Amino acid sequence: MILTDTEILKAISSGDIVIAPYRRQYLGTNSYDVHLGEWLATYNDAELDARRHNSITTFRIPDEGFVLRPEGFYLGVTVEYTESHKHVPFLEGKSSIGRLGIDIHATAGKGDVGFCNHWTLEISVKQPIRVYAGMPIGQLIYFEVQGDVEVPYNKKGSAKYNARTEKPVESMMWKNFEEKLMMELEK
């Protein structure tokens, strides 16, 4: 079940959902609008390797905006810091963003119960487009879960994206290979 505006407000009041900064005008009928933060990032290498840490360079979006290019891939971040303690948050692009040819996530639109952070966006575009810090970029939709959660995301030892940051975070896929190697060595 998707939470309505009144249910999102109840969850915010109880502390089950945290959105900071929160502004009432961004609460929709059954979603909350999030905005592009001031930071973007690009990978430093043209060829990435899933088994190693791929470094990124972060930079601020200038006041005059920044032109995203189709041949590039960008990591962005939401202005909003969010927490979800009893609901599964989904991040979707706003239709007005999609109509400009902007995709805000490649595969990671679903959060976990216990996710507490800014959202890193995986941005690609169909044609060059100038974007601005603070512009509406997506909407969070909250789903009710059935049953108790044994270990929320922010309590998992294996969670790779728990460190609070206002900047985009690069892929931590390489940690999966480290974990697998450690398990093999323990055998």
Is the distance from CB of 114 to CB of 85 less than 8 angstroms?
yes
Q: Given this model, what pLDDT does residue 162 score?
A: 78
Average pLDDT over residues 126-130: 98
Average pLDDT over residues 12-16: 97
User: What mean pLDDT is reported for the chain?
Assistant: 92
Q: Given this model, what pLDDT does residue 181 score?
A: 55
User: Full-prediction pTM beyond 0.85?
Assistant: yes
Strands (DSSP E) found in the chain: 17-20, 32-35, 39-43, 56-60, 66-68, 74-84, 87-93, 102-103, 116-125, 129-131, 136-144
What is the percentage of the chain residues whose pLDDT exceeds 90? 74
Residue-wise pLDDT for 67-107, tens only, equals: 999 999 999 999 999 999 999 999 999 999 999 999 998 77
Give catalytic residue positions.
122
Q: What domains can you pick out in the chain, each with its CATH number?
A: 5-186 (2.70.40.10)
Is the distance from CB of 171 to CB of 107 less than 8 angstroms?
no
Confidence category of residue 178, pLDDT binned at 50, 70, 90: low
Q: Which two tokens stand for residue 83?
A: 């927490």
